[in-house]
Chain A
Amino acid sequence: MATDAVGREDLYAVLGLEPRASGEQVERAYRFSLELYHEGALATYSLLEPSEAEQQRARVREAYEVLSDEEKRKSYDANQGFLPPDSPVLAFPGPVHARPEQELPEVLTGAELRKIREARGVSLRHIASVTKIGLRFLEYVEEDRFAFLPAPVYLRGFLQEYARLVGIDPRRTADAYMNRLGPKP
């Protein structure tokens, strides 16, 4: 769902990629996207105004510039909290200690988080636009798609930001969510 974030989607989404895409996939996706947004391209000319197509081309080039450059991509990933493509998925360093607390359960699933958020009338888009966390990442959190979640240190940060905007205890929320992931050897 690339166009819904007002130009704030991540660079991977611009090229139609997942954050763990290989260098070769980045190349292929770049060439594909260039054709997709080529001036007068059959598949897009009737969907996008010429100025929008030009904007898309610029974003494709911008995304490629970062993602095709190993150093730039690394620092971009770190900034966004993405795992580098070669890192093991969710290698938690040790047990995460949950704290007993009053309103929040000890263990929180993504679906429960969503329920709380919706009950409080906060949209994911709002969270994304305030925190600059990619909308897709927030969705991954709520969908418990662990394979796509960033490294724990970043995930914790995301969860705390999320909780702050929803209006629940940031640290406890992060604990309760991450508690589920359990200790990893």
Chain B
Amino acid sequence: MALSVSDVLPRTGAATTRRQIWSIGGGKGGIGKSLLAASIGWQLARMGRRVVLVDADLGGANLHTCLGLPQPERSLGDFVQRRVESIDEVLTDTQAPGLRVISGASDLLSAANIKHLQKVRVMNQVRALDVDVVLIDLGAGTSYNILDFFLLSDVSILAVVPEPTSIENGYRFIKSALYRRLRAVAPTDEVRDLIDSALDPKNPLGIRTPAELLARVESDDAEAGRTLRREMAAFQPRFVVNEIRDVADVAIGHQLVAACGRHLGLRASYAGFVHHDDAVWRAVRKRRLFMSDAPTSRAAEEIRQLTRGLVKGESLGHGY
């Protein structure tokens, strides 16, 4: 049973300033999400935040390896199966003060038959962790559970690399997440049906983008249109372009934001980019994180900039 989005949408208003949930998704595997998560988490801890990294990567949980840790003894599964009572007991320390890891959350995301209540319990415990930032590495895929975690987040980071397959997956991820969010707030069955048919790219109504969907709903039902418009405005994925090899690749992030705005009707932003850097894989080979192994590398500096920007909610502008 899927967790309903309304259970997990970020709470607005008071009390959101302190504890934040960040997530990194991207639809595609092998684009460095785990390294991004580890290094952003590491930098946040360096900036004095108390951080918990949650490894929810289905494609092989290896966040601990990125951080130079052996496979942790306890995983989130122990908490879900109630072998431990509190989520605090599955936290593993890292070498960086203020940075801890929960491994094995992938079990939770992949388990199709996991009980709704179990998921809510995990969500609530994640929310209740006494930390400043919970950073979730969502890994690849666009399953409902992954989308829910992405939607649950206060900061939703979408990682891409400048390659066609990654960009395509990124768009698919954004659309899936947005439609799931819109579906959860659809006030009538008619609107929900419209959203469902919009999910099929070859739908007979010819609705191909969220903007077209919105226009269609607005012309049928003004009130519903306003509800959907509000949700769309609140959905603000932040792009990170990873593995940049050419200076021209920097502009990809600006183009993605422009394309989202002009053709999907979405207010995305460009949080930052990280160059491909040999220092990163040299560190990976040593099973160390490049942030500490090669702190003067270009990638490390870019992660620091990126993280500072994310903390302040700043972006790189529109690029022209």
Residues of A within 8 A of B (CB): 1-4, 16, 25, 28-29, 31-33, 35-36, 41-48, 118, 121, 123-126
Contacts and interface: CB of A to CB of B under 8 A. Distances in A.
**Interface pairs A-B: 10 shortest CB-CB:** A43-B255, A32-B320, A2-B262, A28-B320, A118-B222, A4-B215, A46-B168, A29-B320, A43-B259, A1-B265
Interface string B207-223: 00101101100110011
A16 B320 contact: yes
A42 B261 contact: no
A31 B252 CA distance: 14
B167 A43 contact: yes
A123 B229 CA distance: 13
B215 A16 contact: no
B219 A3 contact: no
Nearest to A126: B219
Nearest to A28: B320
Interface string B239-282: 00000000000011011101101111100000000000000000
Contacts, number: 80
B319 A32 contact: yes
Contacts of B171: 46-47
B259 A47 contact: yes
B261 A2 contact: yes
Contacts of A125: 215, 218-219
Contacts of A33: 258
B320 A31 contact: yes
B190 to A, nearest CB: 15
B318 interface: yes
Given A3-B209, A25-B320, A123-B222, A43 B256 contact: yes
B13 interface: no
B129 to A, nearest CB: 37
A41 B255 contact: yes
